[in-house]
Amino acid sequence: MAQQIALRDGRQLDFTSGPLVMGVINATPDSFYANSRAEKTGQAVDFARKMIAEGASILDIGGESTRPGSDPVDPEVEKSRVVPVISAIRDLSNIPISIDTKKATVAAAALGAGADIINDVSALRSDPEMLPLAAEAAAPVVLMHMLGDPKTMQDRPSYDDAVQEILHFLITRANEVVRAGVDGSRIILDPGIGFGKRLEDNLRLIADLPAFAAPGYPVLVGASRKSFIAHVVRPHTDGDHSDSPSAAEVPPERRLAGSLAVHVVAAMKGASILRAHDVGETSDAVRVVRAIAAAARHRVKGEA
């Protein structure tokens, strides 16, 4: 697995000590987790300041919700949401910033405002101008797997072998992106937890995460507070002992513990970046994983 990725200005994303935490800031009125929404620039800056203090290594800024069933946003509206936020955060800190968008004009404006990374849920496929932009900008890119688009992706998704099919897509797409001029050392893969996946697919992707790390690209896991967690954890309602609770029974506000469980497993299985709404709690969990791993290495060295 790649241990570092160079940003455009020479700074490095360094994964040698374990996964980095990417804090989520949604400059939107409709993202699925209400507590991640920052509709005013000042609120987004407050979020950023808090996340940096809590241990975020990257901030991911988005101006268009990609929750299941969501509608696309006009590019000018999206730019008006994210550019002031990115500019304000850049005035506050030199922390690496990721722009979460499928649109080249939005990505270009965000990069101009100080963003460092392009995080595209369509793997640079939705907008034909995105790939040449990424190549010219020499910015790291996150290539994510998604069936269809956010509006339709959860309409009965199906796989024969989710891990192999998604891995094949990501490696094929990475090769295409490299041939188009993007530096392969700046590619990050994201299996797309929750994006056109059934419960069993999401669980298998997390369990088999080493398969995605094996080709050598850093792997991003974005599972924070997603609905698949709601179908596993215990409902917090009196008298309800359902074996398979619904997302309505366990809303995003009640999915922190499940999110942390996923983050711990992902950290142990080779994730390089954990995209999280709850930066402080996720950072603490990663520190514990690192400490346990260090203790194991020390024991093995002592027995050698």
Query: Which residues are part of the catalytic machinery?
Result: 226, 275
| Cα 62 to Cα 33: distance, rounded to the nearest angstrom | 13
Kindly tell me the burial class for residue 139, based on how many C-beta atoms sit within 10 Å of its own C-beta (0-12, 13-18, 19 or more).
Answer: buried
| Cα 53 to Cα 61: distance, rounded to the nearest angstrom | 17
Q: What are 120's strand-pairing partners?
A: 143
**DSSP conformation class of 161:** S
Q: Is the dihedral of CA 114, 116, 119, 122 positive or negative?
A: positive
- Show the tokens assigned to 195: 């994006």
